[in-house]
Chains A and B, each alone.
Chain A
């Protein structure tokens, strides 16, 4: 394999460290980063599994300053791109841009015109599938092809994105730059899938432990919703914040935010996908800016959120997979300080994940009817968005609609839709059984009598390392140790200025100037 830059080991390390210090303000590499960066600089294909909060992005950002050309980062989510670019800008990097479907055509033209000047370009897989974008990209030098959230390439992953399947081919068309695939959570099967699907050649692998030793784990079984709410209030009355409470439904987020605010006087708000975009953004920004102590939300909140000082994640309902659970509690204490994850469950909570699994797929009679309508020309798939919309109007969930679209798209040209019904049905059964198996693992975790950490590390075929002081409820910890009183956090309670004559001068930094 050809080396991408010609430096001996000491030289590159010194250079990389200088960049780390100057640009990003860190003195030391964290575990895993140094090896990954070295492999990348050596021009190898790299697969890296790093838990959330362990500094994934530095692994391509630092090479970005050492290689000639543009680092192309494929990212599945708008909010992720936005957050990354915001972080780079804060570090003084002005040559970072994004290309995605949500932006103004004029903005897109501006980005394409200045491609050559960019050090980092974030792009959605949909954009990358467009031929005009690819042609423009083919004209510049891509120094590194990064696939973020690489588990999206695997249909076994919990967030399968069909567009990711084209990435290997696109990489060829862009002159086969070296590839770095990163993900936070992937079991063995998903890892193999990623390496195969992206065509990684003799990949250098760095697999880091999924263990987050600085997060203590507590699971509490309760008998009713009322008891749950009571326990939650007791916990929140003293425990160190800011925190997040994950709920399975929108109604619950609103109910809990209200409860906590009224009963405890905590600055709490709710956040879910049914809110106006503007309100969502305000609440998110308030949380990031420490104007809120607690956010009650659905899993719509979290992706691409970079807040290192979240101290508590509570699950008011448990998620459907261990992967999702680890990802959600992984938002605690990214700065390395001690954090806490508490999960409450009661027997009736089973309905939520099961309902979630079912909503992923169409019911048999529904699917049969849709295929019938397709055969008779009542429905067509000429326009993807229109088709998805039509299905949802007929009562399908969004994920089920996407599932049907994928099936229908695979259909051989000269066959009827009816003819692929059996195959679709068996795919549903297959997928459903995978999800049910994942759910069972999650439930077993709740019921486990041994150490929680040991249990989930086993799932990822890891053996536990040194036991942290605060491990889990099974190993014995006291919630009192997480009391706000034990930490000298200086919580700045910035007054929300309701008086415009104070608010406006603050916003415009007009402090001493007199009003006119």
Chain B
């Protein structure tokens, strides 16, 4: 099954250096610096926010199943950290999962805005479908105020009539979906709700198509990310859909972006912490995120190049990304922050 292979793959990548919660938060797309860093550190960036609808319970059940099958084994007493066994490696190799991961999920530039974009797209489709069929009332698929406000603005403030608007969205979507592999496009569109045609839930799609739930989630995210990239690169071809993408300038989390702005204005890390009423360690988390996502920002103030080389070399020799092991080796020569920055900068290259 796909879900088993996926989890085995992730457990292998994490190599017992994070608890299973770390994997859960990765899939769920938790907006914490730790999860974001992990996605870079362990080479699993495409999987961040891949299953944002994942329930803790079903995830836990899956882990237990892998354990019962002898594919993973526990490495700590609290039963929270696992590594892959030989049997697990065999299973993983046979699944050939690395070749089945669709290219679309590897587009990660829009990961912070994809959730909101998806809701807006669905609500716009539902609204225009209702208008097209002269349905005066319908129950919107979401009531999140920022989403409903955005759609309201689009529907009310256009120079086009509502029928023209519907036709335009139809045409833009047709063009976009044609550019996406057929299986992904079908799965993507099956979630759209319109007049007397309510969208399916991911679980229903899995049942209907006979595919594994995790695989469906991945195909969906692949389609979504391809579509967002297409729209962003060709705004003039898709003006209506483009208006749904929030102008997030970078993939930094909002709070890290604020920190970056302050740092650029010349504040030190400590001054930034004081200014924002945040702890220094939070600002340090932001620095690591910045190291990952804004490679052009100069961090030499926090980490000299020579030390960086040294840390990378040691980490390589020790064959680990576990901070504590590296720190024990380097002792007072490097701080935790410096180790994290060094690892962050060098996962990119």
Contact = CB atoms under 8 A, between A and B. Distances in A.
Interface stretch (A182-190, A202-210, A275-283): A275-283
A102 interface: yes
B129 interface: yes
Contacts of A360: none
B194 A102 contact: no
A515 B185 CA distance: 15
Contacts of A89: 136-137
B136 A284 contact: no
A321 to B, nearest CB: 29
Contacts of B128: 508
B201 A507 contact: no
Interface stretch (A21-29, A37-45, A123-131, A494-502): A494-502
Interface stretch (B21-29, B39-47, B139-147, B302-310): B139-147
A90 interface: yes
A500 B186 contact: yes
Contact of A498 (B174, B195, B208): B208
Contact of B136 (A90, A282, A285): A90
25 contacts: A87-B137, A90-B137, A107-B149, A269-B201, A278-B119, A278-B141, A279-B53, A281-B140, A281-B141, A282-B193, A285-B141, A288-B139, A496-B208, A500-B186, A500-B188, A503-B190, A504-B174, A504-B192, A507-B125, A507-B192, A508-B166, A508-B167, A510-B167, A510-B170, A516-B171
Interface string A159-193: 00000000000000000000000000000000000
Given A107-B145, A507-B195, A282 B186 contact: no
B173 A504 contact: yes
Contact of A104 (B138, B146, B199, B202): B146
A92 B175 CA distance: 36
B106 interface: no
A504 B170 contact: yes
A289 interface: yes
Contact of A269 (B142, B169, B204): B204
For the side of the interface on B, what is the size category? 35 or more
A500 B167 CA distance: 16
Contacts of A269: 201, 204
Interface of B: 53, 55, 119, 125, 128-129, 132-133, 136-143, 145-146, 148-149, 166-167, 169-171, 173-175, 177, 185-186, 188-190, 192-204, 207-209
Contacts of A510: 167, 170
Given A498-B186, A499-B186, A507 B197 contact: yes
A278 B193 CA distance: 11
A466 interface: no
Nearest to A110: B152
Contacts of B170: 504-505, 508, 510
A438 interface: no
Given A107-B145, A284-B139, A508-B167, A496 B200 contact: yes
Contacts of B202: 279
A84 B167 CA distance: 31
Contacts of B145: 102-104, 107
Given A503-B192, A508-B129, A278 B186 contact: no
Contacts of A500: 177, 185-186, 188-190
B20 to A, nearest CB: 21
A506 interface: yes
Interface in A255-289: 261, 269, 274, 276-279, 281-286, 288-289
Given A92-B136, A104-B146, A508-B129, A282 B197 contact: no
B201 A279 contact: yes
A509 interface: yes
